[in-house]
A and B are shown apart, each in its own frame.
Chain A
Amino acid sequence: MTTLLKVNNLKTHFFTHTGVVKAVDGVSFHIDESEIVAVVGESGCGKSVSQLSIMQLVSTPPGKIVDGTVEFEGRDILRLDPKGKEMRGIRGGKISMIFQEPMTSLNPLLTIHRQLTEAMEVHLDLDRSQIHDRAIELLDMVGISDTDKRIHDYPHQFSGGMRQRIMIAMALSCNPRIIIADEPTTALDVTTQAQLLELMSDLVSKFKASLIIVTHNLGIVARYARRIYVMYAGRVIESGTAKEIFGSPKHPYTRGLLNCVPRLDTKDETRLVPIAGSIPNLVNMKPNCAFYSRCQHRVEECKREYWPVLRHITGLHHVSCHAC
């Protein structure tokens, strides 16, 4: 498989009056064609900012992409003018995004028709009636019934799950190569969540697009993602195929994440093991391993040395830890 998008040593920092927040600090990952990849981590670990950086959607100031490259179709798209024509062609066209809150990411004052066709008018070379037909076809595809009528409805007339389906239709509308889904199912019921994930993985393979799922829920990732990146405090601390990560998690944080959620298939007698402490404040971080203070397996090296580099273990499995 050929690599479609390659992020290399990405650094996005926020310059605030209390200090520099290194939200993304040297993140590298890639995604192949027709692949589903997951970026996992708790809130504040930099997973969303890393995705927004790809699209050059980080608001400047206070945010700034200070280093790194994003290779897409043979060039570094971080060098493109964020407001320029080329970047606008990529954003929403070749790479599209699905956001977490379907309530806030749709404009309440415009009809679904208006919002769904807007991107197509910009990116596709079609006339109005072709665009209209395509909009109807997309809504059919994501499972909205009575599309002829409902396309003229406003967002408040749809339920949360339906709104997220509309977001998926919007993301697919311009035949993107990559779809970035940022917590696509977090605010929804489990049954709706299952429906939507199934729908997304079907459609991605139908459209031959690649999908990056950003989530904090390791469970949903197990079924759909081929590879996983686990992030903590602005860095990737473990990566590998889903089977490598779930089968033999190496980093104490990854293991912690797996042990702290109750599982449906185990008896309740096992007590949950919470991860001690809480997520560090990213302002003016020390250069050593950011997980140090919460880690059960820390060694002397972890305090003294710089943050460990991602080290190869087996197959595609990489981990960044001194102690394992």
Chain B
Amino acid sequence: MYFPLKRGLLRKKEADIKAVDGVNFRIKKGETLGLVGESGSGKTTTGKCILRLHKPTEGKITFNGKEIASLRERDMKPLRPGMSMIFQDPYSSLDPRQKAGAIVGEPLIIHRLVRNRKEYRDRVEELFRLVNLDPRMIDRVPHEFSGGQRQRVGIARALAGEPSLLICDEPVSALDVSIQAQVINLLKDLREKMKGLSYLFIAHDLSVVRHISHRIAVMYLGRIVEVLDQDTLYDNPLHPYTRALLSAVPVPDPFIEEKRERIALKGEIPSVLNSPSGCSFHPRCPLAKRECRQKPPDMRLVGKDHEVACHLV
């Protein structure tokens, strides 16, 4: 996905912002794929491209066997109930003037998923119960809910169209720790209850991502640098960036922390506008060689379900 960078009086296009640049992955039915990376690595843009909130510049997105990247908006609409999104901030992602019931029920009306008022009411109540909210709260407005409850209203809305893919964009990072667990457990339960529901779980907190995901894709500057499963992430991460990310995550135990080795990354993630040559991670990589500065590494299969893009692996 490239965004045009426009400057000056005539808004002339000066360059492409390569927010997502040649990303490949697949999510199986019923699978949860975690997408991690620092802010600015293109995680959210990837999610929005899949939902076709952005039209990708190039590439294919196949959803339930159908190519959707190039579909017109009109042809996209019937597919929309099948995929939806949960947002990060439960305070700004709900309309403060709408009642919770109306927020949750809106997709039902837009996509004509119910035939009459009674069916509508029943379905909204069912959705409330599905996310462990009391259906009597239907007539409340968002400010009457706590942060965790709001996030559950957002999840109920996302489930209204019975989607097969749910894109969760940092769904717990704005919540208090004691509430985070409720939402994570709910997402895990929903996955059990609604067979075949897949998640793309976007977050920067590796411990949360590892907890909920079957496989994890690590993104850096618009590219995926490593894809691996939940256990390999902890036991055998290969890309230097994945290792650095892991070592930066604190473990709440001073006895373990004393022994842990920390790989300090130099500097910060560069802007995608002046993305470094070769492997885009090389200026921060503790192991970088000359090769890394010259040509970008390709994604290679190194083990079962384990792919990595690094010259040195």
Q: Which residues of A contact B (CB under 8 A)?
A: 42-43, 159, 161-162, 189-195, 198, 216-223, 242-243, 246-247, 256-258, 260-265, 267-268, 271-275, 278-279
A190-B245, A256-B178, A272-B184 as given contacts; A222 in contact with B38, CB under 8 Å: no
Report, nearest first, the 5 A-B pairs whose CB atoms are least far apart. Answer: A219-B250, A262-B211, A274-B181, A260-B181, A194-B248
Whether B248 pairs with A262 at a CB distance below 8 angstroms is no
A109 to B91, CA, bound (A): 29
Q: What are 9 A-B interface contacts by the 8 Å CB criterion?
A: A42-B176, A223-B254, A243-B254, A263-B251, A264-B246, A265-B234, A265-B253, A268-B230, A273-B181
With both beta carbons as reference points, the residue of chain B lying nearest to A160 in the complex is identified as B39
Instruction: Give B231-266 interface residues, CB cut-off 8 Å to A.
Output: 231, 234, 244-257, 262, 264-265
Instruction: Give B253-302 interface residues, CB cut-off 8 Å to A.
Output: 253-257, 262, 264-265, 268-269
What's the nearest-Cβ distance from chain A to residue B282, in Å?
16
A27 to B154, CA, bound (A): 38
Using Cβ atoms and an 8 Å threshold, which residues of chain B touch A271?
185, 188
With both beta carbons as reference points, the residue of chain B lying nearest to A226 in the complex is identified as B254
Instruction: Give B63-79 interface residues, CB cut-off 8 Å to A.
Output: none
Using Cβ atoms and an 8 Å threshold, which residues of chain A touch B265?
191, 195
Using Cβ atoms and an 8 Å threshold, which residues of chain A touch B205?
190
A236 to B253, CA, bound (A): 21
Whether A263 pairs with B182 at a CB distance below 8 angstroms is no
With both beta carbons as reference points, the residue of chain A lying nearest to B37 in the complex is identified as A189
What's the nearest-Cβ distance from chain A to residue B40, in Å?
9
Whether A278 pairs with B177 at a CB distance below 8 angstroms is no
With both beta carbons as reference points, the residue of chain B lying nearest to A198 in the complex is identified as B264
What's the nearest-Cβ distance from chain A to residue B9, in Å?
22
Question: Would you give the 0/1 interface string for B205-230, flagging 1 where the beta carbon is closer than 8 Å to chain A?
Answer: 11110111000000000000000001
Whether A190 pairs with B230 at a CB distance below 8 angstroms is no
A222-B257, A272-B184 as given contacts; A258 in contact with B211, CB under 8 Å: no
A191-B38, A222-B251, A222-B257 as given contacts; A261 in contact with B180, CB under 8 Å: yes
Tell me what chain B mostly uses at the interface: helix, strand, loop, or mixed: helix
Instruction: Give the number of chain B interface residues (Cβ < 8 Å).
Output: 44
Using Cβ atoms and an 8 Å threshold, which residues of chain A touch B255?
243, 246-247
Whether B210 pairs with A189 at a CB distance below 8 angstroms is no
A218 to B253, CA, bound (A): 9
Does residue B148 face the partner (Cβ distance < 8 Å to A)? yes
A159-B268, A274-B181, A274-B182 as given contacts; A265 in contact with B251, CB under 8 Å: yes
Does residue B113 face the partner (Cβ distance < 8 Å to A)? no
A69 to B211, CA, bound (A): 45
Whether A246 pairs with B252 at a CB distance below 8 angstroms is yes
Whether B264 pairs with A264 at a CB distance below 8 angstroms is no
Does residue B204 face the partner (Cβ distance < 8 Å to A)? yes
Whether B184 pairs with A262 at a CB distance below 8 angstroms is yes
Whether A194 pairs with B262 at a CB distance below 8 angstroms is yes
Q: Which residues of B contact A (CB under 8 A)?
A: 38-39, 146, 148, 176-182, 184-185, 188, 204-208, 210-212, 230-231, 234, 244-257, 262, 264-265, 268-269
A265 to B247, CA, bound (A): 11
What's the nearest-Cβ distance from chain A to residue B137, in Å?
14
Most A-side CB within 10 Å, residue of B230, B244, B247, B268: B268
A191-B265, A262-B208, A264-B210 as given contacts; A274 in contact with B252, CB under 8 Å: no
What's the nearest-Cβ distance from chain A to residue B120, in Å?
30
Whether A260 pairs with B178 at a CB distance below 8 angstroms is yes
A260 to B182, CA, bound (A): 9
A218-B252, A242-B254, A243-B255 as given contacts; A190 in contact with B204, CB under 8 Å: yes
A223-B257, A257-B177, A279-B176 as given contacts; A264 in contact with B251, CB under 8 Å: yes
Using Cβ atoms and an 8 Å threshold, which residues of chain B touch A192?
38, 268
Using Cβ atoms and an 8 Å threshold, which residues of chain B touch A161?
268
What's the nearest-Cβ distance from chain B to residue A310, in Å?
22
A42-B178, A216-B176, A274-B178 as given contacts; A261 in contact with B252, CB under 8 Å: yes
What's the nearest-Cβ distance from chain A to residue B192, in Å?
12
Whether B268 pairs with A162 at a CB distance below 8 angstroms is yes
Using Cβ atoms and an 8 Å threshold, which residues of chain B touch A243?
254-255
A87 to B244, CA, bound (A): 44
Using Cβ atoms and an 8 Å threshold, which residues of chain B touch A275?
178, 181
What's the nearest-Cβ distance from chain B to residue A112, in Å?
17
A189 to B40, CA, bound (A): 10
Using Cβ atoms and an 8 Å threshold, which residues of chain A touch B39?
189
Most A-side CB within 10 Å, residue of B176, B208, B250: B250
Whether A261 pairs with B38 at a CB distance below 8 angstroms is no
A242 to B248, CA, bound (A): 19
A222 to B249, CA, bound (A): 12
Whether A265 pairs with B178 at a CB distance below 8 angstroms is no
Whether B244 pairs with A257 at a CB distance below 8 angstroms is no
Using Cβ atoms and an 8 Å threshold, which residues of chain B touch A278?
146, 148, 178-179
Whether B251 pairs with A42 at a CB distance below 8 angstroms is no
With both beta carbons as reference points, the residue of chain B lying nearest to A243 in the complex is identified as B254
